[in-house]
Structure 1
Amino acid sequence: MSLNWREIALILEELPLVGSSLQQTVQHDFHAISWNFYHQTIGRWTLYTELGTPFSRLHLASESLSVAQQGKTAKLQRFIQFLRAHLEGSKVVEVFQQPYDRMVHLKLDNHGTLLNLYMRFYSGPGANVIITDEQDIILELLYRRPARGEQSGQPFIIGEPKTGEDDRFVVRSRTDTSFNRQIEMEYGSQSNELTFQELLRKVEAKRDRELKTLQTTLASQMHTLKANEGYDRHKMTADLLSAYQHLLKDNQDSIELDDWESSEKRVIELDPKLKGRENILLYYERYQKAKGSYENALSEVVKAKAQLAEREAHYVQLLEATEPQNAIRAMKRELASAETKAHDKVHSPGLTMQSGQFTLLVGRNAKENDELLRHYARGNDYWMHTRDVPGGYVFIKFIKNKTVPLVVLLDAANLAVVFSKAKKEGKADLYYTQVKHLRRVKGGKTGLVLPTQEKNLSITLDETRLRRLLLEDDNA
């Protein structure tokens, strides 16, 4: 459990804070900070603080930090950079504890500039480290909480002090060591075990999400592979029609021909909207499209299987580590890597998804379409939309020296259809072009554009593909 206000008071009595100069600050994770001080009489000493956890506390660190608190997280740069730029080098001139509360106030003098450092050692959402100027205007804080009025530039409201002692809060049984050392020993092992279990839970959850996504991707590519494995039949049909093209007539819906492969009569369906010989080209186009889809899916299946096997082996090695210290380090690195990727992700209106290496931006209504067009889409990005049907825009972000593959176009097309009026039909015609070839309609509706140099695409909704895309978005 966290320290209560009486125990914090006892901790403070033993600490040589007043007159100590802050030499270095180290932020270990989202909740833990070490403050390295120097005192003329005591010498160098370290204050360890932890907030917002079941083990919220402060105490003098008399030995090296345990492995659970080692390492830095890439996402924590903002706060620690402020501490290093504005607090290191300052001297503690006054220490004050809010009456009957777990809030500690340090007044610092940084070469003539007075700063206030407030630390609330709560285990819940009220926990925070807040730095203000002399007038108590917030300069920076560990956790930004706008709903509580705790953000940079706002006045810090301390609140009315509590009155009267509460007999529920008592100092725990004492040992024959200093209270700082007692707390350090008691909480160290408990915090380490909790840290290990929490890291294990998070890594297992990350593993399950990642492997499920890869399995869904593999299933989708296998489905595409199976759907197009007989692509040669389209070429054979086109060859047969070509041999008998003198029999083809305009607006036919079918024709019966002698099939030299089977030596039997064969009925071939034709598109009645086309002229007779145009059906030959139609079947050759179907052949090329199916062949391309098959070959691309085959390549993606090989890649997905290899990636799935690699990630499965990675997590087995990570989670079966027998040495606890190495296991905690490895799990922290794993989670820090995931946080960095999530932090780098494009944050935009609508939805942001990944299709292989390509980022897809999806507008779900006219307002989001317009916002994406104005502020997030660039000239070389691709724009996709359902033809003659209202719906959302899908943008494929440009990658230098990379051609957008068919699988990415199909991902974007499925998203464009599912966020359009064509969703109920389950299929649609679409067109796509680069953003630089779009022209806004003067006086038109919000987000309305006219495309030029567009290409056409017709699809039927692929539920497996959509589940993969939407699952990845939910897990991001």
Structure 2
Amino acid sequence: MSFDGVLLEKLHKEISFLKTGRISKINESGDTDFILTIRHERQNYQMMLSFSSDYSRIHLTNRLYDSVLNPKSFTMLLRKHIEGYFIDDIINYECDRILYFKVSGYNELSDLNHKYLICEVMGRYSNLVLTDENFIIIDALKHDGVGEYNRTILPNAKYEFPLNNKINPMALSKEEIDNIFMEKNPKNPKELMDLFNGVSLNLAYPVFNTDFHSDSFYDYLHKDIKPITFTNFKGKMDFYYYPLEGNIIKEYDTLSNLLDDYYYQMDLRAKVKLKTNDLSTFVKKQIQKYEKKIEKLNLELLDTAKADKLKLYGELLLSSPNMKEKKSMVNILNYYTNEMIDIPLDPKFTILENSNRYFKKYQKLKSSVSYIEEQMEIAKNEIEYFKVIEYQLKDASINDALEIQAELINGKYLFKNVPKNKKKEKPKLLTYILENGTLITVGKNNVQNEYLTHKMAKPNEMWFHIKDAPGSHVVVHNMGELTEEEIRAGAMVAAYYSTYQESSSVAVDYTRVRNIKKIPGKRACFVSYTHQSTIYIDPDSDYIYKLKVKKQWTMRIKNLATSMMKSWHV
């Protein structure tokens, strides 16, 4: 895997400045993900610790991750034991995929304690273990008897690091590496990986593409980091701390920025898929269903073109009522063109009866045209609706996706048991704060868009939306004249949260909220507007990431306090 021991050693050096920092908060971001807030030199740093099977990693992050409101018992245990503790040291174990934090702090009896938080970033064997100063396990995220590496990961057991016969390459000098190459003589990347700890194919393959293997290996190990994503030898996007081979896709300043960017969307999509029972697949199937329906309706509409021909057959047969012989085909003069024409007949019926049958088919086809056109319009509206949903799911957080799922359940597209008396919660909207204090709110799904535009926003506030394409409703909460900075910020947010996120010179319309109207006969998320101005802007993800996000905790605390007061009065 790309996240090998050598890369973790480089990351270890990158985050080592956090020594003496204080773990001020521990949040749970998913079943296997945790966010540590570390206070260091009057600044907060967010550290992502993920121990999922597919996306295990450690890095600093500037992104906004959803926090679980009801964390599991292990998270509460971490808060009890190490929240408020100081980081004495950060250690990478033998260039393996294990990073552990030595922390110290005072307990409730004011006794100084030392503990270890051990992060094993090892794919499906990833784990987070908390031990005391003697490496006696207090608890672990994943319990295991005598499992992989013949270790016991259970409370009160002695923690043991995984044992192997590999050599730590980062602890060796150039001469020592040369001697090992001469003695062991690894002949291919696999043998190199079996010889040294923390070496993956991303490092081993380039070494054997050179003439001097030991020299290249030592040089690659000690290169200054230049994090990149690149196309690997399998033709897939990969990442590493230095561009050793392949076509570079993107360069980064730090390994944390690289890992944050690389894993964020993939990990988020996996969580959303798990929480919503793969909502994206359902939406795609709905789009395909209605597209097939339109194809079928178009074929039926083509059949209606035969209606005039059926009417003609009926009229011509009606003009020859004296034909007594029952045939399967009759040749009659077409008095409109003065040409003879063959008309198929059902020999079981008379000429007049066949004529009536043709007239009935004609009437049926003519009356079906309006029905077919109506069904086609419904199918087109459904495709438009589900394509908007499809776009919204691409950048949806778990809460956003759950709101979309609830919307589909309310629309009878999905079926799920929902408590009858469940109180309807207000949508959780993303709000940015500009440097001058102006708030910009984004609606990331239909529920949020409707609430923001038609309920939350005031009539004289400015509303932004990408022109002629699906996108988020964005409101700049300023009822006066907007500055150029506010207009560009609102347009940047609207362009970023749209289907043109990767485009340049994106057209964004903006107007006062009072000029927004619902479209009759369509869902509330579709609107029309007037008196708009247009600005062209290049979406910039770095600009969006640097915007300050308004936290929702203040409102949640107020609501909690209100409910507590009510319970006391009772």
What is the TM-score normalised by the length of structure 1?
Answer: 0.41
Specify which structure has the bigger relative contact order, considering alpha-carbon pairs within 8 angstroms and separated by 6 or more residues: 1
What is the TM-score normalised by the length of structure 2?
Answer: 0.35
